[in-house]
Amino acid sequence: MDLPVDEWKSYIFQKWSLLPKSIQDTISTADTLKDIFLHSSSLLQPEDETFLKSLASGYLVGKDPNAPPFYREEGNKKFQKKDYVGATVLYSKGISHARPHTADISLCYANRSAALFYMDEYEMCLKDITRAQMHGYPESLQPKVTLRKVECLVTLGRLQEAGQTIRDLESNFAAKPTVAAAQFQILQRNLCRLKMKVQERERLTATFPTTLTKIFEDMDLREVNEQIPCASSSVSLCMDPLRGRYLIATEDILPGELLVKEDAFVSVLNPGERPPLHQGLASKWDTRVTNGDLYCHRCLTHTLAMVPCDGCSYAKYCSHECMQQAWGLYHNRECPLGGLLLTLGIFCHVALRATLLARFEGASKVIRKLSSEISNKDMCSPESETPVHTLRSDLGGESEENGNIVQTPVPGCDVNGKYENNYNAVFHLLPHTEHHSPEYKFLCALSVSALCRQLEAADSSKPDAAAPPILCSELSTWGVAMLKHMLQLQCNAQAITTIQQTALSGSEENNVTNSRQVRLATGIFPVVSLLNHSCSPNTSMSFVSTVATVRASEKIAKGQEILHCYGPHHSRMAVADRQQKLRAQYFFDCSCPVCQKEKHRATVGPRWEAFCCGRCGALLQGGDVLSCGSTSCMESVSRDHLISRVQDLQRQVGGAQKLLGNGQLEQAIQLLLGCRHDAESFLSPEHSVVGEMEDALAQAYAALGDWQKSAAHLQKSLQVVEAQHGPSSVEMGHELFKLAQLFFNGFAIPEALNTIERAEKVLLVHYGPCSDEIQELQKMKSCLLDSPPI
């Protein structure tokens, strides 16, 4: 996903292994990225490019004229089963393959409008009707979509437009009586019904009061930070010889305060699971739903009404405006290389897009800067030689000497010392060239070189005065820049995530959902990259579209460092595993307080992994053989035996979850209750597997509509979540949100209001007042408070 496909990696690693040792040594000991790039590029042979092209050809990213009828038919099947979301996605796939102004694209747009209509997405439905008509929707079918248009306009309260559309349709009937008598009578009845509906809505509009709604506005950055415009004025940029650049609090900061609000300098949508290399019809036209079918490829907005690129079937957007912006900024270069970019992976794609965006900050200036730094400055200079035990991957800023702030040149800042979200800041993120293996650098260099050659070939074959070639004489400069970005990304790439709500098994009708975080895209955020790591951070990060927001998750005292978790969190990973991951990916050993504490802790594991004595219930302690912690009990047991029992329980819980998914609720409950009884004999009540069982039981009873039992089991699951992640964690907030939904559905008003208040308190800190979950909690609270007493 991040890196090239396995076939290309294996091919390049084998090529590396067959190189003479003298050439390997030349690349391994190269002083600059330019030398690495030029030495590696000279080894890229025509047969290598041929193999890469064969891999890229396995991705269907062009427009196939035979695909739209297939996807339309598959969408119709979903529509008949009332799976309107699935139908919408399949119609969108058909649209992405259809050419403009053809029957295929107009029919797919019209069918998608019908699915959107039944999903109450009236605005999107209207847009699709307009698109269908714009692309030549058959005249004989026009009355059907026009009636749908009127329905949407009436529902949206746009009554004048609805009335005019009805009058236009009646005029068309009179002028062109092209429909059969029976069909004409049906249309006349529908017109009469709609006219009555318009008149009724007009009367209601005159007497119905405007509904008052409370609008939540997100907290904005506190004043203006002259040094870092994307950051709050309550933080400042500092430098330390070991930690590099980092942010500190200039005043006391409260939980929930917004510290950084930064749009990605560059982002690339995560394609999700790699589509199969097409061999035959079934795999050629993929019907699976991926993030690329649901989120705009430029702004990452969620939408079911995608607008495709005119040149390829892969890139899709939330609007025509987004499509045009993407085309002007970068997609005009990427469009013919879609299969190649999917083959080379997200890091290579981000590297290309970053350099394409650099053109808009002044191409000549950027090229001069790159050329100067490549020629006169070692890109692997001591500036980037950070010791392995530090918490940072870059240097620069202000330094502190004897308590005094000393100004030093800051890589990434402008001449006025301002650190902004721009290409200058991106370019000065460190690539850690000295830490990457020679094989990895060779893979990146050859991948970038192959991409540059394809870009150059595309520029040469399709001259365009409005979009001048970006490479040619500057091939080595742009190639080195892309190589640097690709190496930067291992330490500086930021996963852009979103919270997706999925209905509990069997509870689709009752609005009870699970929340899960999913990765949407990979981006570069220069200001966010200033944050150091801690396994127990004092901030929480979330995303709206391509904008990252960093909030204080706890009180941060003046002078305290602002810390972010790079992934390995103490509540999800043991200290040894965290250290191994951080060392492998970020090239440092973490020395945060929680790591120091856990390294010197006795052999007692975390509560969510603890075993208890089957005789007295006390916690077991020890290594390979666990002994009861109670002095009055001599029980002991092999750790391997207990781990085997846990694995057996996990298999059974997995089987129960499959039963839940298939609607076999009673069987699932019986299996889970048996697992629960077994777990009580050797697992701590706060063990993570116990939490999984209780959560599954909550889902089963929710599907049966037994809200009281469901809430009781979820409360036991909450005890596990609190033990593992803490009472103020985002995980706790999501579970409290789910518990509030259960109490709400069961009309347990006091319990629901209390849980809503607890959930709001937690989620406001992590997401602010504009998040979907906060909005939903407010709606539930309003409904409960307005309910008459029982």
pLDDT confidence of residue 239: 82
Does residue 133 fall inside a structural domain? no
In angstroms, the CA 19 to CA 40 distance is: 11
pLDDT bucket at 466, cuts 50 / 70 / 90? very low
- Mind listing the pLDDT tens digit for each residue in 567-585? 888 888 888 888 999 999 9
| 293 pLDDT more than 60 | yes
How many CB atoms are closer than 10 A to CB 270?
Answer: 22
- Mind listing the pLDDT tens digit for each residue in 57-77? 988 899 999 999 999 999 999
| 452 pLDDT more than 50 | yes
Give me the amino acid identity at 378.
Answer: D
Does residue 744 fall inside a structural domain? yes
pLDDT confidence of residue 369: 57
- Mind listing the pLDDT tens digit for each residue in 75-102? 999 999 999 999 999 999 999 999 999 9
- Mind listing the pLDDT tens digit for each residue in 209-221? 333 233 334 456 7
Measure Cα distances from 264 to 25, 519, 531 in Å. Answer: 37, 15, 15
In angstroms, the CA 621 to CA 237 distance is: 45
pLDDT bucket at 358, cuts 50 / 70 / 90? confident
In angstroms, the CA 530 to CA 508 distance is: 43
| 188 pLDDT more than 70 | no
pLDDT confidence of residue 187: 53
| 454 pLDDT more than 60 | yes
| 717 pLDDT more than 90 | yes
Cβ atoms of 287 and 578 closer than 8 Å: no
Instruction: Give the chain's end-to-end CA distance (angstroms, integer).
Output: 55
Give the DSSP letter string of 128-178: HHHHHHHTT--GGGHHHHHHHHHHHHHHTT-HHHHHHHHHHHHHHHHH---
Does residue 186 fall inside a structural domain? no
pLDDT confidence of residue 720: 92
- Closest Cα to residue 548, out of 581, 565, 524? 524
Structure tokens at 8: 């290309």
- Closest Cα to residue 65, out of 108, 17, 128? 108
Q: Tell me which residue range forms the domain holding 667.
A: 638-786
pLDDT confidence of residue 628: 86
Does residue 5 fall inside a structural domain? no
In angstroms, the CA 645 to CA 90 distance is: 44
- Mind listing the pLDDT tens digit for each residue in 730-775? 999 999 999 999 999 988 999 999 999 999 999 999 988 888 889 8
Number of domains in the chain: 1
Does residue 756 fall inside a structural domain? yes
pLDDT bucket at 471, cuts 50 / 70 / 90? very low
Cβ atoms of 614 and 681 closer than 8 Å: yes
Give me the amino acid identity at 573.
Answer: M
- Of 327-341, 352-366, 607-621, the poorest mean pLDDT is in 352-366
**Mean pLDDT over residues 360-364, rounded?**
54
The runs of H, that is alpha helices, within 429-515 are 438-461, 475-492
For residue 775, the domain's CATH number is 1.25.40.10
pLDDT confidence of residue 362: 55
Cβ contacts of residue 594 below 8 Å, gap of 6+?
534, 535, 536, 570
| 510 pLDDT more than 80 | no
| 206 pLDDT more than 50 | no
| 381 pLDDT more than 90 | no
User: Does 224 or 10 have the greater pLDDT score?
Assistant: 10
**Mean pLDDT over residues 348-368, rounded?**
75
Does residue 187 fall inside a structural domain? no
pLDDT bucket at 399, cuts 50 / 70 / 90? very low
pLDDT confidence of residue 176: 61
- Mind listing the pLDDT tens digit for each residue in 298-354? 999 999 999 999 999 999 999 999 999 999 999 999 999 999 999 999 999 999 999
- Whole-number percent of the chain with pLDDT over 90: 54
How many CB atoms are closer than 10 A to CB 422?
Answer: 16
In angstroms, the CA 226 to CA 419 distance is: 9
Q: Please give the mean pLDDT across all residues of the chain.
A: 83
pLDDT confidence of residue 175: 62
Does residue 695 fall inside a structural domain? yes
In angstroms, the CA 142 to CA 152 distance is: 15
pLDDT bucket at 163, cuts 50 / 70 / 90? confident
Does residue 608 fall inside a structural domain? no
**Mean pLDDT over residues 229-233, rounded?**
92
- DSSP SS3 for 212: coil
- Of 379-383, 517-521, 624-628, 665-669, the poorest mean pLDDT is in 379-383
How many CB atoms are closer than 10 A to CB 460?
Answer: 11
pLDDT confidence of residue 191: 54
**Mean pLDDT over residues 123-130, rounded?**
94
Please write down the long-range contacts of 403-410, taking CB distance under 8 Å and 24 or more positions apart: 405/238, 408/239, 410/237, 410/239, 410/245
- Of 154-158, 296-300, 346-350, 663-667, the poorest mean pLDDT is in 154-158
DSSP-assigned beta bridge partners for residue 638: 625
- DSSP SS3 for 63: coil
In angstroms, the CA 334 to CA 339 distance is: 10
